[in-house]
Amino acid sequence: MRACVMLGVAVVLAACGDDPISVRPEANPLGTTDNILPYPSSLYEQVDGDGVRLDVPVGAFPDNAVTKVPFDPTRLNKRRGWPATTTLLWAAPKGVNPAHLVGPDQIADSVTDASATVIIDMMTGARIAHFAEVDANEYDDFDHQAVYLRPAQRFAGGHRYAVGIRTQLTARDDTKLARTAGFQAVLDNKDSGHARLDRARPRIREAIDALEAAGVPRSDLLVAWDFTVAPDEDAIVDPLAARDAALAAMGPLGANLSYTVTSDLGTINNDPRLARRIEIDFEAPLVTGEGNAGYVRDGEGHVIAQGKMIAKAYVMVPACAANNNKAGILMYGHGFFGSLAELRNGEYARDLAEEACLVVAGTLWTGMSNDDIPNALLALNDLNQGWGFGEHIWQGMVNSIALEQLLRGKLATEVLVDNQGRSVVDTSREYFLGISLGHILGSTFFAYDPFISRAVLHVGGANWSLLFERSANWATYGVPLKGSYDNLLDAVIMEQVLQMALEGVDGATVAGVSIPGTPEKQFLMQTSRDDAEVPNVASFYQARSLGATLVTPSVITPFGFEDAQAASASKGWIIVDEHPMPKPPATNETFSEGNVAHENARRRTLVQQQMRDFLSTGIVTNTCTGACDCAAGNCGPLRTPMYGGH
């Protein structure tokens, strides 16, 4: 028997005659890291009827170095494919030279022969636009440096994809990379002795055929694999059941829900925009357990409503609201692990309330409010709690729907009234404004809400794993995840588990998906260039996934919008530019410094006018004086707080 050259603990990189491949049964022999990489892959799918079901064994995902408890894939293996929001992961011995990868500013090249990475939709034959990068946070262990393939927009539900890494990609020192023995066995159509690889070999060879048909010769492949995306309807089953069960428990217009006004005050600091400031405790149906317990389910596993909880709301009534000048209603979504103090003190919200004559009301994003930080840290430390953490956020969606129903029902006729008991609100005009996390989570709330048809989505984005790593907030919130694994690559892999756990509250999951029981939706999406808290790449990803129209003139034209722009649109996207400093890194390098991009945009007079005009007409137009270059003065003055708020 010839000797085999080993790299790593149990991985053979060169074929050794007919010897079986020495890779753990749970691991992927197409890779070199003794785990699930490359990810995701049909090695972890089982053909099931005319589709697939995931088949991930214990031990495929990295072990948690802190809890010493393996990740339990039971929930995962109920899925009929991977999420539409998946990021692809791979790694190579010695790392790769990032100069050969198409970066976020080169997405157009990713669908040409210039790209060393190729993704093919096997149902259409089309190349999939993406960018590729290495983990810029790995400085030493390049054998375990993640290589990311990040799609420009969500994958199509139910589609199967082929992935190819071409031989033009070299190691970090520019030497050639070798094929693994596993991939060579697939190319040679020979048994490898690895049961999981041999079972998947026919499917991987189909992927190789698809790559060849797209112009990538098999001789040019360093490695290739395939994976299947779950049908879109699978991702909405539980959230839809939670919504419908909650609506049934609420009754029409929240008839079955009670409330208590805990505070009803006039204006503050003589602010002329405000007439009343109301604090309310209200009932909402419970669809989740406490902490990270997840959905409440019946004996057959269906999500149900069981009992009620008391949620809190803050409502501001503008001075303009009167029986003969009824105000519309604006639901408000707060920011990252925030609280109602954001709305209480937000003078930009008071501007909108008075100038658009809107009652503005908000509740907490239960699951991702300030009160939920301990549960979030526990889930980040132990991804076995991730499913429950993600599902618990849907309680915040239900609470928001309950408040929306009450605002059109009892609160409109019993609380939002003048001194003669006459309502001061027009319940036919109810809208949504989500800022930052309010945009991120609000995209899901807006998609499922059965009444609201217009929303302003401000400085947010979609795809949690894309959001995390490029946000200044990740310098803090990434610590418990990274600290739970032996190396950064393991933590990066487990980020994709977290992405799956948060699938039900990712705006990309519902982008372009028809949600039963909802009206036609119109939206204004606003992105601030070089935002340090919500990365532009995540905003661009969402805009593409939504099929938004870039409203012109624009400060930039991101990839995919060369032919998707107009002077007005009912699903429109505006990009503003504050020329902020410091700019966030172009890579996924962890950073903690913020800038003004995230906060300033909503305080610009002409950006506020965009919001008002859209909510009134349903049409997005560019109200800036030219492209929204705010530093050049095109967005109007920056309003400063005058009455003790922010």
Same domain as 117, residue 82: yes
Q: For residue 458, report the phi and psi dihedrals to the nearest 5 degrees.
A: -115, 125
Query: pLDDT tens-digit profile of 274-326?
Result: 999 999 999 999 999 988 899 999 999 999 999 999 999 999 999 999 999 99
Same domain as 531, residue 493: yes
Distance (Å, rounded) from C-alpha 232 to C-alpha 239? Answer: 12
For residue 621, list its beta bridge partners: 568
3 or 259, which is more confident: 259
Contact 331, 411 (CB under 8 A): no
Contact 162, 130 (CB under 8 A): no
Residue 642 binned pLDDT confidence (cut-offs 50, 70, 90)? confident
Domain count, the chain: 2
Say if 637 falls within a structural domain.
Answer: no
Contact 624, 634 (CB under 8 A): yes
Residue 146 predicted with pLDDT over 60: yes
Mean model confidence pLDDT for the chain: 95
Residue 9 predicted with pLDDT over 50: no
CA angle 112, 117, 119 (to 5 degrees): 80
**Which of 549-561 are b and which e, b meaning 16 or more Cβ less than 10 Å from the residue's Cβ?**
bbbbebbeebbbb
Same domain as 283, residue 183: no
Residue 516 predicted with pLDDT over 70: yes
Same domain as 334, residue 376: yes
Same domain as 433, residue 337: yes
Same domain as 178, residue 281: no
Residue 532 predicted with pLDDT over 70: yes
Distance (Å, rounded) from C-alpha 291 to C-alpha 392? Answer: 7
Same domain as 268, residue 224: no
Domain, as residue range, for 453: 257-632
- Burial of 461 per CB tally in 10 Å (0-12, 13-18, 19+): buried
Same domain as 350, residue 201: no
- Burial of 506 per CB tally in 10 Å (0-12, 13-18, 19+): buried
Other C-beta atoms within 10 Å of 574: how many?
30
Structure tokens, 366: 């239960």
Residue 17 predicted with pLDDT over 60: no
Mean pLDDT of 368-383: 91
Same domain as 215, residue 295: no
Residue 561 binned pLDDT confidence (cut-offs 50, 70, 90)? very high
Distances (CA, A) of 646 to 238, 353, 420, 460, 529: 38, 15, 34, 20, 22
Q: 3-class SS at 522?
A: strand
Distance (Å, rounded) from C-alpha 64 to C-alpha 16? Answer: 33
Distance (Å, rounded) from C-alpha 445 to C-alpha 395? Answer: 11
Other C-beta atoms within 10 Å of 496: how many?
23
- For the chain, how many helices (H) and strands (E)? 18, 23
Q: What is the pLDDT of residue 221?
A: 98
CATH number where 86 lies: 2.60.40.1220
For residue 11, list its beta bridge partners: 7
Same domain as 505, residue 385: yes
Contact 646, 347 (CB under 8 A): yes
With a pLDDT cut of 70, the percent of the chain lying above it is 97
Other C-beta atoms within 10 Å of 34: how many?
18
| Closest by CA position to 452, among listed 350, 523, 554, 348 | 523
Same domain as 283, residue 186: no
Query: pLDDT tens-digit profile of 177-231?
Result: 999 999 999 999 999 999 999 999 999 999 999 999 999 999 999 999 999 999 9
CA angle 119, 574, 400 (to 5 degrees): 90
Distance (Å, rounded) from C-alpha 340 to C-alpha 319? Answer: 21
Same domain as 189, residue 116: yes
Residue 351 predicted with pLDDT over 60: yes
Residue 12 predicted with pLDDT over 60: no
Say if 339 falls within a structural domain.
Answer: yes
Residues in the chain: 646
Say if 235 falls within a structural domain.
Answer: no
For tokens 């949620």, name the residue: 311
Q: What is the pLDDT of residue 18?
A: 56
Residue 361 predicted with pLDDT over 80: yes
Residue 86 predicted with pLDDT over 80: yes
Q: 3-class SS at 607?
A: helix
For residue 161, list its beta bridge partners: 121, 227
Sheet of 160-166: strands edge to edge?
Answer: 117-121, 160-166, 221-228
Q: What is the pLDDT of residue 19?
A: 64
Q: At what angle do helices 437-448 and 232-250 cross, to 10 degrees?
A: 80
H or E segment to which residue 162 belongs: strand 160-166
Q: Beta strand pairing status for 51-54 and 259-265? A: unpaired
Structure tokens, 259: 């409330």
Query: pLDDT tens-digit profile of 478-488?
Result: 999 999 999 99
CA angle 494, 498, 499 (to 5 degrees): 110
Residue 14 predicted with pLDDT over 60: no
Q: What is the pLDDT of residue 123?
A: 98
Residue 607 predicted with pLDDT over 60: yes
Q: For residue 228, report the phi and psi dihedrals to the nearest 5 degrees.
A: -120, 135
Contact 282, 259 (CB under 8 A): yes
Say if 646 falls within a structural domain.
Answer: no
Determine the residue type at 622: N
Say if 10 falls within a structural domain.
Answer: yes
Q: What is the pLDDT of residue 336?
A: 86
Q: 3-class SS at 282?
A: strand
Residue 643 binned pLDDT confidence (cut-offs 50, 70, 90)? confident
Residue 7 predicted with pLDDT over 80: no
Determine the residue type at 610: Q
Residue 347 binned pLDDT confidence (cut-offs 50, 70, 90)? confident
With a pLDDT cut of 90, the percent of the chain lying above it is 93
Distance (Å, rounded) from C-alpha 166 to C-alpha 541? Answer: 25
Mean pLDDT of 41-54: 95
Say if 84 falls within a structural domain.
Answer: yes
Distance (Å, rounded) from C-alpha 589 to C-alpha 383? Answer: 23
Say if 332 falls within a structural domain.
Answer: yes
Q: List Cβ neighbours of 118 (8 Å cut-off, separation of 6 or more).
A: 127, 162, 163, 164, 165, 166, 211, 214, 216
Structure tokens, 532: 């340090």
CATH number where 452 lies: 3.40.50.1820
Whether omega before 231 lies within 30 degrees of 0, making that bond cis, reads no
Mean pLDDT of 16-33: 83
Distance (Å, rounded) from C-alpha 86 to C-alpha 36? Answer: 14
Q: What is the pLDDT of residue 259?
A: 99
Distance (Å, rounded) from C-alpha 587 to C-alpha 466? Answer: 11
Say if 236 falls within a structural domain.
Answer: no
Mean pLDDT of 6-20: 42
Distance (Å, rounded) from C-alpha 614 to C-alpha 330? Answer: 13
